[in-house]
């Protein structure tokens, strides 16, 4: 059995598409439909681009193992990380609906992806509409994450941004079985946090030292330990409901 930290740290375990499929609440038959859409899994080395900004994108990738980032390089060379992709996440969905990809996606660790031509996904609306609805419904969570990041960048202090960022990662990794109650393993560098939160690296360093000195967070050798989850959540004003959208069944039940 793969350890909880193996996928997040990038160490290969048995490749599997069951983890991302489980997050869609698919039946066994529906999961089989989605598996049939996928091309064979591809191993991707650390630091390799899966999708490049400005290039045509016609394939969606399911990240089955490893960690990746969605980002843009600005004219002055600075990098803005839009979000982190975890096992089970889809890469390239939005890029396929534009002439060229709007953002780049690159692996932070050795990863495995399952390619799915976007045309096959679109045809699901004709052949398997319920599977298509569940699949595209799952993307609502990603949209909510973007909105929370906008709030963080626009209104939260540096300390609150870092605290919220770490709480979000803890929750997301818990949902896919890659974190325990208060810790996870992830290749989080100060540069990555800086680029994700719009802060300078020295500022991130000061914030992390403050969180450590306050007995809230420790980061060492890629291991993130949140010593006081309740206090860090309160500091960040963190509410995890945006990471847990209703299923289609739940939504329909509310309107029956």
Residues of the chain with CATH 2.60.120.10: 6-137
Among 187, 113, 204, smallest CA distance to 105 is for 113
For the domain spanning 154-243, the CATH number is 1.10.10.10
Task: State residue 255's pLDDT score.
Answer: 47
| Cα–Cα dist 181/174, whole Å | 8
Task: State the pTM of this model.
Answer: 0.84
**Phi, then psi, of 227 in degrees rounded to 5:** -75, -25
> What residue spans in the chain does CATH classification 1.10.10.10 cover?
154-243
Q: What pLDDT is recorded for position 30? A: 79
- Alpha-carbon distances of 18 from 15, 88, 139, rounded to whole Å: 9, 9, 18
Residue numbers of the chain with a pLDDT score lower than 50:
1-7, 9-23, 255
- Sequence length of the chain is 256
Name residue, tokens 């960040």. Answer: 236
The packing angle between helices 190-197 and 201-213, to 10°, is: 110
* pLDDT at position 83: 93
Q: Output the pLDDT for position 249.
A: 61
pLDDT at 248: 57
CATH of domain 6-137: 2.60.120.10
């Amino acid at each position: 059995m793969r350890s909880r930290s193996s996928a997040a740290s990038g160490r290969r375990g048995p490749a599997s598409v069951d983890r991302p499929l489980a997050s869609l609440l698919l039946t066994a038959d529906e999961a089989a439909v989605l598996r049939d859409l996928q091309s064979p899994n591809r191993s991707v080395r650390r630091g390799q681009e899966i999708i490049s900004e400005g290039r045509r994108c016609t394939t969606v990738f399911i990240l089955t193992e490893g960690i990746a980032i969605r980002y843009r390089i600005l004219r002055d060379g600075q990098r803005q990380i839009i979000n982190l992709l975890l096992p089970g996440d889809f890469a390239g969905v939005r890029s396929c609906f534009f002439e060229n990809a709007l953002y780049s996606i690159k692996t932070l660790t050795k990863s495995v992806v399952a390619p799915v031509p976007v045309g096959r996904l679109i045809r699901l609306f004709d052949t398997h509409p319920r599977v298509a609805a569940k699949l595209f419904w799952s993307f609502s969570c990603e949209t909510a994450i973007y909105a929370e990041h906008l709030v963080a960048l626009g209104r939260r202090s540096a300390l609150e941004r870092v605290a919220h960022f770490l709480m979000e990662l803890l929750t997301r990794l818990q949902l896919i079985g890659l974190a325990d109650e208060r810790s996870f393993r992830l290749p989080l560098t100060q540069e990555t946090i800086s680029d994700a939160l719009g802060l300078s690296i020295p500022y991130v360093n000061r914030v992390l030292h403050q969180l450590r000195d306050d007995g809230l967070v420790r980061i060492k050798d890629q291991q993130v330990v949140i010593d006081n989850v309740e206090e860090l959540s309160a500091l960040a004003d963190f509410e995890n409901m945006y990471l847990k959208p209703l299923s289609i069944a739940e939504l329909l039940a509310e309107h029956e």
